[in-house]
Every structure is written in structure tokens, then in C-alpha cells.
């Protein structure tokens, strides 16, 4: 309650009442992971201005760009791999354990929902902890790849300036000269993080499962997403079309504002851990 005004308390109490009714579907974005040390693209810690994200076409068609990506991602994984769930992730897992949630859809690729205990998470954009071969399709773990990259680049000691939400870091081109990229062990094919790059489409079955979740929801709860790209915003539009109420908790501007039945502009680290404790607080504050 410290530092929270009555308006925010009442907003959170209203959200809590909706959650208490159950059948809530969470749609989370990068803003949920900022308190775990992973910046978002467009929020207060945003990195959109740091450069364009890697596209699938560039990754597959430009060997130099691919080497640059893996050098940067090799360093970035030290942060992503060591990141731990924050109070927001734990709050989502708790709500699921309480039976309030019908499902969790995330645009994030950090795996922190699952690390906090959430189950059956639909990862729209994949997960950086997995690597896929574009030749044979074999999936492998990122830690295994990191061991191979370290062995192939024993003298690589570049210092990362800043990390991006998709797991790579900012490096000067001179720092990636001579970096050795490793390929798939079984077939020699190109390895790629098992994430959806710009220029790719989210697998149709993933999208279908997410739409099915939203269709059965009483409330769509958007957490930490600016909803700038259609990949996430389409679920809000579907909810509005079907008469499903939409609640958004996000710090800063969101393109979902015109569609929100409830919009809370506040830190997720303040709002989410306090769900479930505000209903009596509102009564006390109003009586003063």
C-alpha cells in the first residue's frame, strides 16, 4: 500500500474481483521480465532504439550477419540464462495454482513463466533455451550449444555493452571478427535459436491454441505488453469482438488502450504481488 494512491488501489481491487471469477487468460509481454534484468523493446527500459532486431531472411542469407548474431547472442545468453523469475512471474504461477487462470500465453522467449512454476504456457515466439537445426529439424538445448561455442572460441572475451530482449548484445563489428560459428552435429546444417524471428510467422497450431484459450476466457489479462505488433494485439481484438473483457497492466503507452475495459498504468512489480489483498483495503480507505 505504501506509495499507492486510492485510484490505483481501487483499480487493482476491480482487477482482483475479475480474477476471482476465474477463466482468466494471461497474455504477457517483455515488460513482465524487466524486473528480472531483461529489458523490453518499447517501455521505460526499452531497447528498440538500439538497432533493428535480426530477421529470418538476414540470418539465413548472410553468413557475416549470422556470425555477428551468434557472437552477440553467445554473450547475451549469460544474462538470459542466469535470469530468475520476479514477483510478477511468481504471481501468475500462484494465480494458476489457485485455479483462477484458464491459460498463459507469452510473447517472451525467456522461459521465466515456467521457471516460476507456470504450466502449459503457450510460447508464441519460442524459447531461447532451445536451438533448432534448419537442416534436419533436430532440437537441442542452448547450454549444449554454449559449451560448443565456448570451446570453438577460447579467446573470445568481448565485453557486452547492453543486452536486448531477444538475447543478443551490442558489440562493435571489430569485436566479432574471427568468431567461429558451429553447425548441427548430426547433419552440418545451420543452427538457429528456436524463436520466431522478424520475417517469420508464428506456427499456425500455436496461434490456434492461443485463440482457443481466448475464446473460452471470461477476462483477457494483458501484462507488460505495448501491443505494438499484431502478434499479440490480435488476441485483444478477438476478445473485444467476442465480448470478452480486457484488462491491461502496463507501464507506459500501449496500443491496447482503446480496447481495454480496465487499464492500469503502474509497475507490474507493484500490482501483481498484491492481487488478493486489496478488497478489504478499499473499504478501509473509503471509510477514512
| Residue 60 annotated as part of some ligand binding site | no
Residues 31 and 251 sit within 8 Å (Cβ to Cβ): yes
Cell of 151: 570451446
C-alpha to C-alpha distance for 273 and 239, rounded to whole angstroms: 25
Tens-digit pLDDT profile for residues 226-268: 999 999 999 999 999 999 999 999 999 999 999 999 999 999 9
For residue 52, what pLDDT is reported?
Answer: 66
pLDDT tens digits for 66-122? 999 999 899 888 888 899 999 999 999 999 999 999 999 999 999 999 999 999 999
279 is in an annotated binding site: no
Q: Rounded to an integer, what is the distance from CA 279 to the centroid of its chain?
A: 29
Q: Is 49 annotated as a binding residue?
A: yes
- Is 39 known as a binding-site position? yes
For residue 12, name the pLDDT band (cuts at 50, 70, 90). very high
Domains and CATH numbers, the chain: 6-287 (3.40.50.1220)
CB 275 within 8 A of CB 15: yes
pLDDT at residue 285 in the model? 41
Three-state secondary-structure class, residue 280 = helix
Establish whether 225 is an annotated binding residue: yes
- What is the reported pLDDT for 226? 95
Q: Between 109 and 176, where is the model more confident? A: 109
Active site residue 125: yes
In the chain, the percentage of residues whose pLDDT exceeds 70 is: 85
**pLDDT computed for residue 167 by the predictor:** 63
Using one digit for the tens of pLDDT, what is the confidence trace for 119-172? 999 999 999 999 999 999 999 999 999 999 999 999 886 555 556 656 666 667
This prediction has a pTM of 0.89
Residue 202 has pLDDT above 50, yes or no: yes
29 known ligand binder: yes
DSSP 50: G
Q: Within its chain, how far is the Cα of 99 from the centroid?
A: 22
Q: Which cell numbers hold the place of 5?
A: 494512491
d(CA 254, CA 261): 13
Check the annotation: does 205 bind a ligand. Answer: no
Helix (H, G, I), strand (E, B) or coil at 123: strand
Residue 141's pLDDT is: 96
Q: Which of 74, 89, 113, 125 is catalytic?
A: 125
Pairing of β 24-28 and β 262-264: unpaired
Amino acid at each position: 500500500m505504501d506509495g499507492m494512491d486510492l485510484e490505483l488501489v481501487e483499480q487493482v481491487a476491480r482487477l482482483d474481483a475479475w480474477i476471482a471469477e476465474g477463466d482468466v487468460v494471461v497474455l504477457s509481454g517483455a515488460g513482465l521480465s524487466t524486473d528480472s534484468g531483461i529489458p523490453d523493446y518499447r517501455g521505460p527500459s526499452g531497447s528498440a532504439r538500439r538497432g533493428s532486431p535480426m530477421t529470418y531472411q538476414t540470418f539465413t542469407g548472410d553468413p557475416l550477419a549470422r556470425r555477428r548474431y551468434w557472437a552477440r547472442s553467445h554473450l547475451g545468453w549469460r544474462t538470459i540464462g542466469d535470469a530468475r523469475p520476479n514477483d510478477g512471474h511468481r504471481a501468475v504461477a500462484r494465480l494458476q495454482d489457485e485455479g483462477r487462470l484458464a491459460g498463459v500465453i507469452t510473447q517472451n522467449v525467456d522461459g521465466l513463466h515456467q521457471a516460476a512454476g507456470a504450466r502449459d504456457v503457450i510460447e508464441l515466439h519460442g524459447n531461447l533455451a532451445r536451438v533448432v537445426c534448419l537442416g534436419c529439424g533436430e532440437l537441442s538445448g542452448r547450454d549444449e550449444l554454449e559449451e560448443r561455442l565456448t570451446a570453438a572460441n577460447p579467446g573470445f572475451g568481448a565485453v557486452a555493452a547492453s543486452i536486448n530482449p531477444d538475447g543478443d548484445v551490442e558489440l562493435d563489428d571489430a569485436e566479432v571478427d574471427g568468431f567461429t560459428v558451429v553447425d548441427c552435429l548430426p547433419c552440418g546444417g545451420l543452427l538457429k535459436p528456436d524463436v520466431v524471428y522478424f520475417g517469420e510467422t508464428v506456427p499456425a497450431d500455436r496461434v490456434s491454441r492461443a485463440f482457443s484459450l481466448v475464446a473460452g476466457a471470461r477476462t483477457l489479462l494483458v501484462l507488460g505488453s505495448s501491443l505494438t505488433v499484431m502478434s499479440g494485439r490480435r488476441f485483444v481484438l478477438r476478445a473485444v469482438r467476442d465480448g470478452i473483457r480486457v484488462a491491461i497492466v502496463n507501464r507506459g503507452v500501449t496500443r491496447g488502450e482503446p480496447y481495454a475495459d480496465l487499464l492500469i498504468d503502474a509497475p507490474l512489480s507493484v500490482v501483481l504481488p498484491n492481487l488478493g489483498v486489496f478488497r478489504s483495503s478499499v473499504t478501509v480507505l473509503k471509510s477514512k
